[in-house]
Structure 1
Amino acid sequence: MKLLFQTTGTTGSTELKSLLGSIDADLKIQNLIPDLITATNDVIDLVGEEVYKKATDLYGNGTIADENKDFIFAIRYPIAVNAYRLIAPSNDLAHTNNGRKMRHDDNEKQAFEWMIDRDNAALERRYYRALDDLIKFLDRSKVDAETSTTLYTIWTTSEAFKATHNLFIRTVADFDQHFTINSRLLLIKLAPAIWDCEQYKIRPLIGTEKLTALKQALKSGTEITEAKDLELIRLIQKASVSYALAWAMPRLSVQLYPEGVLQHVTSDRATTRGAKPTLKNETQEARQAFESDFDRVILEIERLVAPAPTIDECQPINPEIIYGDKFMSL
């Protein structure tokens, strides 16, 4: 695999230091190569091999043209952050012939576990923000003279881009109308749940023909003027948001969510096992809240698409009276 870092000499360590200012300058990049490969594969899974190949072609042997530096930084930064957070736990200890030992120099003091826990969480949040920035950079990379080899075209024809643009929730703005996430990365992570909602919850209610017609109109940019269709799209999007968030609660890392969705407590004790549990099962409670929202919207969709009641105008208003009987037939 071709990496976006120099792996021989000291150039790679300098590149790493320029990206991660908080690390020591003498951290050898050769020690990070396995983790750099893992982190690179994670980025490729997100943006696609074509986008990464474009980056390696522009990176070349380390001489980057000025007009390409922003793109190379955007794709290298999450790789560097993830690689470091993968190796950092092992670097906290010395791996010797006599087992693992705690490093302790005269001018250094071992960090408490709660400090390490907080730093790990901060590194994870930084990694997700870096991925989000990368996706936003790709979304905004369109130039006046687009060709099949320009970055924006490569990105918009990738499967990662199409994953959300074939759904009713196509953009972060669509999602934020119902619940604010402000994250393109989180939207991509939620795409499987949004697809499930459309196929298994919405399709049985409105039918395949209606679902396909509305989705095609959104995709092609066709103006929708029917008030009922506009309301139906709004309700489908709202249901998809609630369903996706309920699906995500037990599945995705808490660091991906906007602050306030889940509260995480870190202990101030010097042991990881001393972490304080939350007083309530917040993940389950959040999931139940989103499921309740989803159920309420589904009822609105059912009422909207329900056929109007038929009135039989031939039915007599007055009940039939059978004389000679003690009862009235209604």
Structure 2
Amino acid sequence: MLFNKDNNGAVELRDRTGSYYANNKFDRIGTDVMLAEREMIKLVGQEVYDRAHDHYQGSEYQLESPSAAQKLNDDLVLILQIPIAYRATYNYYQSNIVSHEDAGRKMKLDPENEKMPWEWMLDRDDRAQVSKGNKTTDMLLSWLEEKSIPEWMDSENRTTARSLFVYNEEIFQDAYPIDQSPRFYFTTLAWNKEVQEREIKKALGATYADLLEYHIGFTTGSGSGMSGIPSEEDEEMEELLKLVQKAIPLLVMVKAVKRLSLQVLPEGVVQQFMSESQGRGASQAALLDVIKYQVKRLEDDAEDIFDDVKLWLQRADPESGEFQLLPKNEESNKYFRT
């Protein structure tokens, strides 16, 4: 565990969040800390966590005059502890509203000096906790990338990301605003890969392999246009790549809006949903209508980009009749459309 198991761990949680009560016994929140650490390990990789944990448990942690390497590891421990602390304390607060005793669940309160918060106060506090947890996770991922921490650079999530057309949150952000959040990007990484290997591969046909080869050459610096003036073919591939990079985030967001809770979505997206649903009556049904509307809009925008992809394919192979913007109607078919 990346926190002391004695009461000093409670002090660390207070220092990392600014809100946890330092006099609480740490063993009451120990399970929540372990669960939060497991979530973080899935995101950054076991090797990153092990490096921080080994340094935290070693004799070189927080020396008075640390070397540059020791200082880097001190920073790693701190920047990893913060989002873990926010996740753990949030989960703890959800289950700490009532006490659980043999006679049932009870609420204990000193009526002379204490008052229970209103429901809207609890909701606002929950949103603040979740927001800080998300933002500090973004901070952690950005720091790992900025410092080129080897354990992160070789991690499974980052390795998978670098093999995709949309390989970081900046490219995703250009197509759909996600608050520049690497946390959200890696949360939807599996869908990113799924969209590329299903929808994009199907749409491009044989051209998919050529585009993937060009993309890998571009990201590794080994492409034909990397050492000089790009060829006409490189410019054509770059145009297609940019179209694909616009389409993938839109299709990923279709899945995210359908499947993820509002707590996981970027804050800007949530605010947009809530403002639109409030304008329609602030009911659950209104929110569902807004989600359906957003999904339809995203699908329409993606379809417009796919039309541009079809035009590119037609231009690249004008002799082929395979890429039709509109389907060809046949009188012999029982069903046809325009």
TM-score, reference length from structure 1: 0.81
State, as a whole percentage, how many aligned pairs show the same letter: 26
SS of 1:170's partner is coil
Contact 1:168–1:233, Cα closer than 8 Å, also in 2? yes
Give the Cα–Cα distance (whole angstroms) in 1 for the partners of residues 17 and 174 of structure 2. Answer: 35
Contact 1:163–1:188, Cα closer than 8 Å, also in 2? no
Tell me which amino acid in the other structure corresponds to 1:133: M
- State the number of aligned residues: 289
Question: What displacement does 1:278 show?
Answer: 6.3
* Uncovered stretches (5+) of structure 1, i.e. residues with no partner: 143-151, 266-274, 311-330
* Uncovered stretches (5+) of structure 2, i.e. residues with no partner: 276-281, 321-338
Aligned residue runs from structure 1 range 224-303, under 5 A: 225=231, 226-255=234-263, 256-260=265-269, 262-264=272-274, 276-277=283-284, 279-280=286-287, 281-303=289-311
Give the Cα–Cα distance (whole angstroms) in 1 for the partners of residues 203 and 12 of structure 2. Answer: 55
Tell me which amino acid in the other structure corresponds to 2:284: P
Tell me which amino acid in the other structure corresponds to 1:162: T
Contact 1:16–1:29, Cα closer than 8 Å, also in 2? no
Give the Cα–Cα distance (whole angstroms) in 2 for the partners of residues 42 and 190 of structure 1. Answer: 15
Residue 88 (structure 1) aligns with: 93
Residue 139 (structure 2) aligns with: 133
Question: What displacement does 1:214 show?
Answer: 2.3
Tell me which amino acid in the other structure corresponds to 1:53: D
Residue 189 (structure 1) aligns with: 187
Contact 2:211–2:237, Cα closer than 8 Å, also in 1? no
Contact 2:175–2:247, Cα closer than 8 Å, also in 1? no
Contact 1:178–1:238, Cα closer than 8 Å, also in 2? yes
Residue 35 (structure 1) aligns with: 32
Contact 1:14–1:25, Cα closer than 8 Å, also in 2? yes
SS of 2:24's partner is coil
Give the Cα–Cα distance (whole angstroms) in 1 for the partners of residues 202 and 30 of structure 2. Answer: 50
Aligned residue runs from structure 1 range 98-113, under 5 A: 98-105=103-110, 106-113=112-119
SS of 1:110's partner is coil
Whichever structure has more helix as a proportion of its residues is: 2
Higher relative contact order, structure no. (Cα contacts within 8 Å, ≥ 6 residues apart): 1
Contact 1:164–1:187, Cα closer than 8 Å, also in 2? no
Q: CA RMSD in A?
A: 2.0
Tell me which amino acid in the other structure corresponds to 2:268: E
SS of 2:268's partner is coil
Paired residue for 1:24, among 21, 26, 31?
Answer: 21
Tell me which amino acid in the other structure corresponds to 2:138: D
Q: Summarize the Cα distance change of 1:249–1:229 in structure 2 as closer, same or farther, 3 Å threshold.
A: same
Paired residue for 1:75, among 74, 80, 95?
Answer: 80
Question: What displacement does 1:260 show?
Answer: 4.3
More displaced stretch, 202-211 vs 52-61: 202-211
Contact 2:273–2:291, Cα closer than 8 Å, also in 1? no
Residue 115 (structure 1) aligns with: 121
Q: Deviations over 1:236-287 (max 9, x none)?
A: 101111111111102223233241454338xxxxxxxxx9536352222111
Paired residue for 2:8, among 11, 21, 24?
Answer: 11
Tell me which amino acid in the other structure corresponds to 2:77: I
Q: Summarize the Cα distance change of 1:96–1:53 in structure 2 as closer, same or farther, 3 Å threshold.
A: same
Give the Cα–Cα distance (whole angstroms) in 2 for the partners of residues 211 and 71 of structure 1. Answer: 37
Q: Summarize the Cα distance change of 1:40–1:260 in structure 2 as closer, same or farther, 3 Å threshold.
A: closer
Paired residue for 2:165, among 156, 168, 188?
Answer: 168
SS of 1:279's partner is helix
Residue 215 (structure 2) aligns with: 215
Contact 1:128–1:185, Cα closer than 8 Å, also in 2? yes
Paired residue for 2:201, among 200, 203, 222?
Answer: 203
Contact 1:17–1:23, Cα closer than 8 Å, also in 2? yes
Quick check: which has more Rg, 1 or 2? 1
Tell me which amino acid in the other structure corresponds to 1:79: I
TM-score, reference length from structure 2: 0.80
